[in-house]
Structure 1
Amino acid sequence: MGPYERLPSLSISGPIINHRRCECGYTVNSTNSSSPFALFTDFLETDFLHLYTLPDSIDVPASEAVGWAVQAYNITPSGARGPYGKAAEIENVVLNPLHSRQDWTGEGKLGGAPGLQIWVRGQEDLLGPMGEQMVRSGEIDSLRRDMRYGSFRVGMKMSDVPGTCAAFFWYRNDSQEIDMEYLSRQSNGSSPINLVIQSPASAEANYNAINTTTFRVQDLPFNPSTGYHEYRFDWTPERIVFFADGQLLQEFENTFNGDAPDAPRTLMLNHWSTGNPGWSGGPPAQDAVLTLSYVKAYFNSSNATREDEWRGVCAGDSWQGRTCQIPDFPSQGIDPQNTVDSGKTSFFMYESGNVNQTLYPAASSAPGLYTPGVFGWKAGFIFSLFLL
């Protein structure tokens, strides 16, 4: 047994190895009935309920200088395919943690729902001249660029202000993307979520997946704006499966004309609006907020040296008994605004002595170390311009 087949990616130097109980990876034992077992070698967990500072310098110790990058970019209306463009701004990503590290319930330090806030600003606060106006929004991207197959989970409370899109997705390019998108304008009692796999077929349709075989609208069994819920997708070579609060939403077999994503890249979360009446709607009449309580990503690295190291330690059947099963969605839910400790969920990173096994120097585009599973953010911010 081993991790899924890799594609060569980063060029890195030798790893630093710490032998721990999860050193051979993290398992999903019930992705679905026809694929009862999946093993992933790496993890990246972030507890936004207890994230109190963002580094402001790349001089922060390397163990803290990893995780996520707050994005800053402008996209014109024509590039954003809407009446308005997108302006992702650092100030629209705001920390609102619980009052202490011992708390798992209550309001954030700024009041209201605790966690990481990603704001879309209202229609009275647009950026740019008339005819080229952009809606102010926010985005965070993982610094890991080597994620290829995995189980990806986020705890979120959606906005109840119509006119925004909240997205949790793995992204390589506009024709290789796995996406869960919530459109607040669609909240009418059924609370649908859009499950999208962007493919060459959707690119040929002007990047509109609606008429392809890899687009579904699925009603959620809850109102996503009144509490926190977990959104998840599992991606393996055989299939892509979507979940909400641990319940199956939709399964796509990876047999759709060879268009399934199969190359490595990045996990992203954003909250935005372009005024497109066929998608995000808006701009919102007032400021709208998306709140994150955690991200838990368990995945395989496309890094050839990383996989060689794994095989050296976990070859043959030696991995058995040296993996950790990823916990199921907790029966009490994950909402930190409910009862005592109701926001408490399992993190491998909080177990005594259980840091991830391997530290890698980062590629030149991301200073610091790749340290899967360590609580932290990249020091400083990445400013980038995307012309989509």
Structure 2
Amino acid sequence: MQPELGIFFYFTLLIVTTQASLFNLAPRSLRTYRNLHSRDADNTVSVNVASCACGYYVPETKETFTHRITLNPSALDNSNIAASLSKQGWAISNWVQTSKPKNIKYSPSNLKYNSNAKALELIVSGGPASRSTINSAEISTTIDKILYGSFRFNVKASSVAGACSGLFYYKDDNHEIDIEILTSHIHNTTTQKDGIPKPGVQLTVQPLTENQAFKNYKVVPFDGRFDPTKGYHEYRFDWLKSGVKYIVDGNSYGTYTRFIPKTAGTVLINNWSNGDPYWSAGPPLQNSILSVRSVDIYYNTTDTTKIAAWKAACKKASYKKVCSVPRSKSG
């Protein structure tokens, strides 16, 4: 790297990174970028965490994020999924959500590791439509102080109708960034009734207050693009101060700039049904499975303990070790 280019990156990262004030970089210090992925493969290169001590640079956003969370299903122990998920920074939900017309029960038993697919499966249980409670599945990051970042989910949706698969940031109902796939409304095959969601991927940034207009919502049709039930696809959103950009398989699906959350929260993945014909529909007559191949989250945090540890590690690395994050994969 030429000195002029190194200095440019130094000042760029200082200015645009949300937590740039935490760097306390020595004058004229230069960064060494380490690519997390090989040039000829999709697999992550074995990079010691110390090599990324100063963060993760996302070229498309021109920002460096301080921390990373991954979900690697192939490293899960099927005999104790909860413990092995916890080691990776994830927790399993176990509670009943009161809902209409049917309640949703997030059950740990509805999570399975599929060794053949090397994927974590979130299951909405199949059964009779007369059920009053629908067994579903949900996981969340154990850290609940995530503020801004690049969030990437490599998943395959179910072809079984009657479920809602969600990939999202959440603080509360007015601080929420959603990617949702409704398995009853995937393709344009029939004319939709009034109030029924249009087929496609549902992209929503919720209003920041209850009285704000519901502006940040749109549906991007799958038809002519890809089939989410066939193969794994990368669904991604980049959440910055300036806006939320949606990307699927490397293709931009739009950017929202209004009502952008500025509050730290958690990241969740769920698959559920409550039988509501105007959203999840269902319940499914047979198991409807969201299959998760991997998750990569590069983020900043408001957790003071994590910030202090990051500052110390970056200082020990002479402020030089930043990993360069690859662009989204194409489907």
Q: TM-score, normalised by structure 2?
A: 0.76
The one-letter amino acid of 2:237's match is F
User: Match of 1:91?
Assistant: 109
User: Match of 1:246?
Assistant: 250
Q: Which has the higher helix share?
A: 2
- Structure 2 distance, partners of 1:192, 1:268, is 20
**2:97 equivalent to 1:75:** yes
The structure-2 alpha-carbon separation of the partners of 1:304 and 1:286, relative to structure 1 and needing over 3 Å to count, comes to same
User: Match of 1:182?
Assistant: 181
RMSD (CA atoms): 2.6
Residue 205 (structure 2) aligned to one of 197, 202, 212: 197
Q: CA deviation at 1:266?
A: 0.7
Q: CA deviation at 1:180?
A: 0.2
Q: CA deviation at 1:228?
A: 0.6
The one-letter amino acid of 1:92's match is N
Q: Does the CA-based 8 Å contact 2:65-2:298 persist in structure 1?
A: yes
SS in 2 for 1:263: coil
User: Match of 2:286?
Assistant: 286
Q: Which runs of 5+ in 2 are unaligned?
A: 1-12, 21-47, 190-198
Q: CA deviation at 1:291?
A: 0.5
Q: CA deviation at 1:121?
A: 1.2
Percent identity, aligned pairs only?
30
Q: CA deviation at 1:123?
A: 3.5
- Structure 2 distance, partners of 1:46, 1:265, is 18
Q: CA deviation at 1:22?
A: 1.1
Q: CA deviation at 1:296?
A: 0.6
Q: Does the CA-based 8 Å contact 1:151-1:299 persist in structure 2?
A: yes
SS in 1 for 2:96: strand
The structure-2 alpha-carbon separation of the partners of 1:305 and 1:67, relative to structure 1 and needing over 3 Å to count, comes to closer
Residue 219 (structure 2) aligned to one of 179, 192, 217: 217
Residue 52 (structure 1) aligned to one of 77, 80, 88: 77
Q: TM-score, normalised by structure 1?
A: 0.65
Q: Does the CA-based 8 Å contact 1:141-1:266 persist in structure 2?
A: yes
Q: Does the CA-based 8 Å contact 1:169-1:267 persist in structure 2?
A: yes
User: Match of 2:166?
Assistant: 167
Q: Does the CA-based 8 Å contact 1:165-1:183 persist in structure 2?
A: yes
Residue 27 (structure 1) aligned to one of 34, 57, 73: 57
SS in 2 for 1:186: coil
Q: Does the CA-based 8 Å contact 1:125-1:136 persist in structure 2?
A: no
The structure-2 alpha-carbon separation of the partners of 1:251 and 1:56, relative to structure 1 and needing over 3 Å to count, comes to closer
User: Match of 1:39?
Assistant: 64
SS in 1 for 2:93: strand
- Structure 2 distance, partners of 1:57, 1:212, is 37
- Structure 2 distance, partners of 1:74, 1:227, is 31
The structure-2 alpha-carbon separation of the partners of 1:268 and 1:226, relative to structure 1 and needing over 3 Å to count, comes to same
User: Match of 1:306?
Assistant: 306
Aligned 1:9-24 pairs, distance under 5 A = 20-24=50-54
Deviation per CA, 1:212-263, whole angstroms, max 9, x where unpaired?
111111123210001110111110111111111111111011xx3xx32111
Residue 231 (structure 1) aligned to one of 216, 232, 235: 235
Q: CA deviation at 1:310?
A: 4.1
